[in-house]
Amino acid sequence: MLKLKRVYDDISTQDGKRILVDRVWPRGIKKEDLELDEWYKELAPSTELRKWFNHDVDKWKEFKEKYEEELKDKGDLIAEIRNDSDGHNVTLLYAAKDEHHNQAVVLKEIIDDK
């Protein structure tokens, strides 16, 4: 099962494989404290797209479209996550404050839809 979680939330044994999907390391967290299995920077939005979006909810629909376009050539990593989550827990980690408007939400939708 594929789940989403902020990096600042408590770690749980129910998280399963933990994958960070941010391009930059989250503020205020030591690498050894996050207990990551993978860090897929390449699945994060491009720096240009991330800065343009700037977590502006009014830009959400356009952000999703642009980000989905960026993900079209990341099929191998997306397939890997899909395979890992088939019958096992996988948690996509992100740092954004907004739990409903961030790249991990879009990424999960794409993985779940395939």
Number of domain units in the chain: 1
Please tell me the distance from the alpha carbon of residue 94 to that of residue 72, in angstroms, as a whole number.
20
Q: Which two tokens stand for residue 82?
A: 């899909």
Report the mean per-residue pLDDT for the chain.
96
Q: Which pLDDT value is given to residue 114?
A: 62
For the stretch 58-96, pLDDT in tens is: 999 999 999 999 999 999 999 999 999 999 999 999 999
Residue range of the domain that includes 108: 2-113
Query: 66-101 burial by CB neighbour count: b if 16+ within 10 A, else e?
Result: bbeebbeeeeebbeebbebbeeebbbbbbbbeeeeb
Q: Which residue has the tokens 């594929």?
A: 2
Kindly report the CA angle at 37 between 32 and 38, in degrees rounded to 5?
A: 105
Q: Please work out, in degrees rounded to the nearest 5, the angle formed at the alpha carbon of residue 77 by the alpha carbons of 56 and 112.
A: 65
pLDDT attached to residue 113:
86
pTM value?
0.94
Q: Is the pLDDT of residue 11 over 90?
A: yes
Q: How many other CB atoms are found less than 10 A from the CB of residue 114?
A: 9
Q: What's the pLDDT score for residue 86? A: 92
